[in-house]
């Protein structure tokens, strides 16, 4: 009896180990290496631009490392979940993200850098629910648009309207903070979901026209905060007020330009050490890369981001179900848009919107959301049935 029991359990153990090993082999190692490289570079840059805040100051970089460690754990947990099972939990995740956004506009919310987007937890930690709202919107849009109408490969009209309703609520709560940058990311996620799902071009055109009218109305009726208007003014002409609204843009260009080809070396940037560029550890982290690592270092960061995007597109293309394709495709568009805006605003081709650089900028909730998204991509990769 004992020997027979052993022979029954042993194959089960081996099968389980083989299955786990197979799962690890199916992970997209190239993407994970690129993400790890960006995180390492980001940690070095955060250390460089925050070490002069106080003698022997390492508190912020330690917190950044802790955030990254938590993010890696979240990424690993999400990667083990069957992404098709996530479809059933998408409404719950979305509702929880709305609850978080709702709590921000209560007395629990706090204002940081002019945006009422945070919930303070104590001990120097804070949560920004709008970052988790990106994940929630990705899942709910994918869930609603994944089921095609009968006899068609396009989503049902009712599902499209529900997806737009979900996006409108989310963006409305974010604009109440106000957080224009995150609202733009949510708009891109929504548009990407509709396009990937195959919604008719005429409908997309009508939505684009409505969006254009909405943007015009925001400016015409002066619905933006003064600091947001100032950012657009500085984008149009930074020389108008180089010590005021144009200060960030001017100093950012000086920092990046001074790095030339090879940079001044880690910890050697004068602009970084002198803290001439505000928010260098978050929104303007790319200026530290440009000054200290030079053109080649900056290109390396962009190339690593490009690797993440290309591998994400590969996962979306090879996925064998619509839900997974929609999730992967919208995540890629989210990362691409946010990366372009962040890098663009530091080199003067985009207005300042306060969006961090994925995987590089300092951040807690943003780091968690980005790595959760990577976990979703890995979950889709692991469980796809077609291999190429």
Confidence band (pLDDT; 50, 70, 90) for 304?
very high
pLDDT of residue 265: 86
With tokens 């709910």, the residue in question is: 140
CA distance 135 to 331: 8
- Most confident range (mean pLDDT) of 6-10, 247-251, 360-364, 382-386 is 360-364
pLDDT of residue 26: 81
Mean model confidence pLDDT for the chain: 84
In this model, does residue 3 exceed pLDDT 60?
Answer: no
3-state secondary structure of 85: helix
CA distance 279 to 293: 18
235 belongs to a structural domain: yes
Domain of 293 in residue numbering reads as 26-383
CA distance 289 to 275: 14
**Between vectors from CA 237 to CA 235 and to CA 239, what angle results, nearest 5°?**
120
The more confident residue out of 301 and 107 is 301
Report the C-alpha dihedral over residues 312, 318, 324, 329, rounded to 10 degrees. Answer: 40
In order of 239, 323, 374, 381, the CA distances from 84 in angstroms are 52, 7, 16, 12
1 belongs to a structural domain: no
8 belongs to a structural domain: no
The more confident residue out of 219 and 272 is 272
3-state secondary structure of 198: coil
CA distance 137 to 82: 19
Cβ-contact 124, 63 below 8 angstroms: yes
In this model, does residue 17 exceed pLDDT 50?
Answer: no
98 belongs to a structural domain: yes
In this model, does residue 254 exceed pLDDT 90?
Answer: no
Tokens standing for residue 121: 């937890």
13 belongs to a structural domain: no
In this model, does residue 165 exceed pLDDT 80?
Answer: yes
Confidence band (pLDDT; 50, 70, 90) for 149?
confident
174 belongs to a structural domain: yes
In this model, does residue 288 exceed pLDDT 80?
Answer: yes
Number of folded domains in the chain? 1
Confidence band (pLDDT; 50, 70, 90) for 83?
confident
12 belongs to a structural domain: no
pLDDT of residue 314: 95
2 belongs to a structural domain: no
Cβ-contact 265, 292 below 8 angstroms: yes
In this model, does residue 20 exceed pLDDT 60?
Answer: no
């Amino acid at each position: 009896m004992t020997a027979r029991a052993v022979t029954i359990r042993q194959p089960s153990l081996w099968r389980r180990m083989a299955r786990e090993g197979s799962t690890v082999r199916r992970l997209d190692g190239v993407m994970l290496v690129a993400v790890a490289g960006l995180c390492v570079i980001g940690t070095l840059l955060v250390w460089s631009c925050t070490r002069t805040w106080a003698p022997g100051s390492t508190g912020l970089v330690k917190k950044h490392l802790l955030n990254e460690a938590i993010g890696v754990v979240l990424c690993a947990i999400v990667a083990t979940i069957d992404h098709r099972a996530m479809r059933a939990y998408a409404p719950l995740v979305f509702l929880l993200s709305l609850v978080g956004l709702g709590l921000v506009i209560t007395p629990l919310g706090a204002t940081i850098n002019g945006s009422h987007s945070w919930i303070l937890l104590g001990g120097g930690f804070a949560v920004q629910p709008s970052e988790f709202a990106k994940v929630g919107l990705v899942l709910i849009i994918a869930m609603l648009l994944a089921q095609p109408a009968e006899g068609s490969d396009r989503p049902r009209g009712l599902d499209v309207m529900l997806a737009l309703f979900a996006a409108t609520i989310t963006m409305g709560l974010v604009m109440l903070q106000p957080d224009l940058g995150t609202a733009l990311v949510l708009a891109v996620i929504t548009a990407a979901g509709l396009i990937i799902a195959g919604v008719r071009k005429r409908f997309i055109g009508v939505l684009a026209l409505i969006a254009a009218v909405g943007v015009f109305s925001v400016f015409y009726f002066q619905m933006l905060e003064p600091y947001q208007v100032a950012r657009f003014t500085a984008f149009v002409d930074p020389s108008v007020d180089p010590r005021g609204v144009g200060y960030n843009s001017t100093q950012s260009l000086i920092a990046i330009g001074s790095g030339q080809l090879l940079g001044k070396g880690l910890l050697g940037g004068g602009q970084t050490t002198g803290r001439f560029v505000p928010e260098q550890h978050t929104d303007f982290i790319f200026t530290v890369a440009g000054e200290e690592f030079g053109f080649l270092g900056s290109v390396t960061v962009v190339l690593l981001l490009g690797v993440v995007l290309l591998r994400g597109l590969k996962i979306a293309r090879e996925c064998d179900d619509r839900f997974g394709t929609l999730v992967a495709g919208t995540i890629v568009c989210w990362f691409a848009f946010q990366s372009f805006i962040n890098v663009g605003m530091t080199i003067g081709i985009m207005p300042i919107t306060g969006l961090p650089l994925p995987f590089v900028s300092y951040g807690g909730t943003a780091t968690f959301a980005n790595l959760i998204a990577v976990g979703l991509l890995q979950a889709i990769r692991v469980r796809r049935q077609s291999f190429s």
